[in-house]
Amino acid sequence: MELKAERDPLLDALQTAARALSTRTTLPSLGGIMLVAAGGNATARATDGELAVTVELEAEVDGDGEILLPGRLLADVSRALPQGTVTLAERKDKGDVELTAGTANFHLRLLDPEDFPRLPELEGDVLKMPAGALAETVDRVARAASRDEVRPILTGILVSVEESTLTMVATDSYRLSVKRTELEGAAPSPFEANVPARAMRELARVVAQHGVEEVEIALPGNQIVFRAGGVTMSSRLIEGQFPSYRQLLPDAFDHDVRLPRSEFLDVTRRIRYLAQRNAPLKLAFEEGQLTVAAETPEIGDASESMPCAFSGEAMEIAFNPQFFIEGIESVDTEELVLRLTSPLRPGLLQPAGSEDFSYLVMPIRLNV
């Protein structure tokens, strides 16, 4: 088989596929990109056994076949090639692929494709969803997913669709992020799946990079498969019971404090520089004023005040700086609401005038 493609679109496809390459496996095939030619079309495929990516190639194809090449090496070489047409020609007698561009000439040894797994396909009931809404929802909640593999259930994003409502939920047990999005038209059937946050982030990246307008979704077996333009992505679902997030969201709060998001974010970002070595970000509320403060004894301290519509008995509450600031960043309106009850109860960040997005964050107990 032989493929001819322009360098930039070829490189873009290879880099997209390479994001699914394994870095920790002892199986050489999971470190490779498989190029598949059939019926005049070509794709690049990669998987680490959990996440899989298939990318359609813009290429002239001569012959059918499958070849497996070292993935990162192939992407690195392609990036270094001069602009123009790139040719990849299989040399069966040599056990390699000849890659040429201009006067540059490379020979890359083929990997054994025997252990390369069969990738799931988009089949069965297919749900179509606006790509922009899906990617925006992922961006809002993914940061709350855990990165600790000790509790695999919390490393996922719970994705559910019921009638015309898409809901995504993520939590690492210290914070909880919930986003509801209304879709145009009802889904053919409801579904719920705990999808690895990594896979959802990669999907959002593909949507942003390729300007995709619609994403197709299917759930064959214990896998979820997405198709976004010329990219098909699949991931193994996370097994187990996701936390009952509805029970974690309080029904009522004693204080609803409206704050200008941009100013509040600027203040907390400045003060966090003095919240080092696990020091908390402190929020002190009194009549008409909020003071944000932090102190790291070996380094120094900082504080800054801003007006706010707070009334009642003065209250001080503290949060993990990173978690709290990421919550503010996740709100996309000019004004947000910080809902509080007491220094020992979680705080809730929401857009002003909407409950479609909620970010619950646990407080840190202050030493009195």
Domain holding 41: CATH number? 3.10.150.10
Q: Any residues with CB less than 8 A from the CB of 169 and at least 6 apart, and which?
A: 141, 157, 158, 160, 176, 177, 178, 179, 242, 245
pLDDT at residue 93 in the model? 95
Does any domain span residue 84? yes
Does any domain span residue 368? no
Do residues 92 and 15 share a domain? yes
Do residues 157 and 66 share a domain? no
- pLDDT, average across residues 122-129: 89
pLDDT at residue 313 in the model? 93
Count of domains observed in the chain: 3
Structure confidence at residue 114 as a pLDDT band (50, 70, 90): confident
Does any domain span residue 180? yes
* Buried b or exposed e, range 200-234, using 16+ CB within 10 angstroms: bbbbbbbbeebebeebebbbeeebbbbbbbbbbbb
Structure confidence at residue 318 as a pLDDT band (50, 70, 90): very high
Does any domain span residue 12? yes
Do residues 253 and 237 share a domain? no
- The model carries a pTM of 0.93
Do residues 62 and 133 share a domain? no
Does any domain span residue 121? no
Does any domain span residue 225? yes
Domain carrying residue 43: 2-115
* Sheet containing 281-286: order of strands: 300-307, 289-296, 281-286, 315-319
Q: State the Cα angle at 245 between 361 and 364, rounded to 5°.
A: 20
Domain ends where: 245, 266, 299? 245
Q: Chain-wide mean pLDDT for the chain?
A: 95
Does any domain span residue 70? yes
Do residues 7 and 111 share a domain? yes
Do residues 160 and 222 share a domain? yes
Asked whether the predicted pLDDT for residue 368 surpasses 80, the reply is: no
Does any domain span residue 220? yes
Q: How does pLDDT run across 37-52, given as a tens digit for each residue? A: 999 999 999 999 999 9
Do residues 143 and 234 share a domain? yes
Q: Return the residue matching tokens 């199986």.
A: 27
pLDDT at residue 207 in the model? 96
Do residues 334 and 237 share a domain? no
Q: How does pLDDT run across 358-367, given as a tens digit for each residue? A: 999 999 998 7
Q: Return the residue matching tokens 């992922």.
A: 138
Domain ends where: 115, 150, 175? 115
pLDDT at residue 328 in the model? 98
- pLDDT, average across residues 20-26: 82
Do residues 239 and 264 share a domain? no
pLDDT at residue 55 in the model? 98
pLDDT at residue 26 in the model? 74
Integer angstrom CA distances of residue 44 from 3, 136, 300 = 11, 27, 53
- pLDDT, average across residues 136-145: 95
Do residues 292 and 219 share a domain? no
Asked whether the predicted pLDDT for residue 290 surpasses 90, the reply is: yes
Do residues 234 and 285 share a domain? no
pLDDT at residue 351 in the model? 97
Asked whether the predicted pLDDT for residue 189 surpasses 90, the reply is: no
Do residues 34 and 99 share a domain? yes
Q: Which structure tokens are listed for 249?
A: 């969201």
Q: How does pLDDT run across 225-252, given as a tens digit for each residue? A: 999 999 999 999 999 999 999 999 999 9
Domain ends where: 245, 279, 305? 245
* Inter-residue contact 263 to 252 (CB < 8 Å): no
Q: How does pLDDT run across 63-106, given as a tens digit for each residue? A: 999 999 999 999 999 999 999 999 999 999 999 999 999 999 99
